[in-house]
Amino acid sequence: MRRDAWRVPIPPHLHGKAPRKHWNANALAFLGDSVWELYTRRRFFYPPSRKDSYFSLVVEHVRAETQERLYQQLLDSGFLRDTERDVLRWGRNATGVTPKRLSDTGLKRETYRAATAMECLTGYLYLSDPDRLHAMMSLLGLGDAPADGGEAASSSSGGSNSGGRRSSSSSSSNGNN
């Protein structure tokens, strides 16, 4: 397989139904969380490194604080179509109260809402337009790894790994976003 031809697994066929008519925002965010983490893991898999190096890079990029920063970057970029802005707003408004396990870490409600919006858009694009998803992830520095193995354009959220939305064991499987 060519390096530039990589994509996530093929989404299910929706038989002409729009994702927003088939799933609610939280369901799309649940799916988007997994897709986001897959892109992130793939992005940092090259160059070969130690498992703890992979882990720390991935954790840094799946944190709510990083997703909030990328949310703002995406809004400011001019990349988004009107329907994508609507999906972001829909996902942002779908989150209620920040879960206690996350609020105990000091995570702000707005940070959690922005992260959920990003995951909702990721799930939506995965189902409706995988090529557009890949373009968005590339814009955010989570597409293909650079040939020189350098860091992604968005390599750091400027904070430590503590206080993030994820636990030290990757939480994409629990769906509690």
Q: Where does the pLDDT of residue 6 fall: very low under 50, low under 70, confident under 90, or very high at 90 and above?
A: low
Catalytic residue, chosen from 33, 52, 82, 104, is 33
Nearest one of 65, 53, 80, 79 to 151, comparing CA atoms: 53
Nearest one of 87, 89, 80, 83 to 23, comparing CA atoms: 87
Say what percent of the chain tops pLDDT 70. Answer: 66
Q: Where does the pLDDT of residue 165 fall: very low under 50, low under 70, confident under 90, or very high at 90 and above?
A: very low
Query: HSE-up of 57 (CA within 13 Å, CB side)?
Result: 26
pLDDT tens digits, one per residue of 85-119? 999 999 999 976 666 666 667 668 888 899 999 99
pTM of this structure: 0.71
Judge: domain 23-139, CATH 1.10.287.3240.
no
Taking the domains of the chain in order of start, what are their residue ranges?
23-139
33 is catalytic: yes
pLDDT at residue 123 is higher than 90? yes
pLDDT tens digits, one per residue of 46-86? 766 677 777 778 777 788 889 999 999 999 999 999 999 99
pLDDT at residue 172 is higher than 60? no
- Please tell me the predicted confidence (pLDDT) of residue 168: 34
Distance CA 69, CA 16 (A): 33
Burial classification of residue 19, based on how many CB atoms lie within 10 Å of its CB (0-12 exposed, 13-18 middle, 19 or more buried): buried
Task: Kindly tell me the sign of the dihedral angle through the C-alpha atoms of 22, 25, 30, 31.
Answer: positive
What are the start-end ranges of the E strands in the chain?
A: none
Average pLDDT over residues 5-30: 77
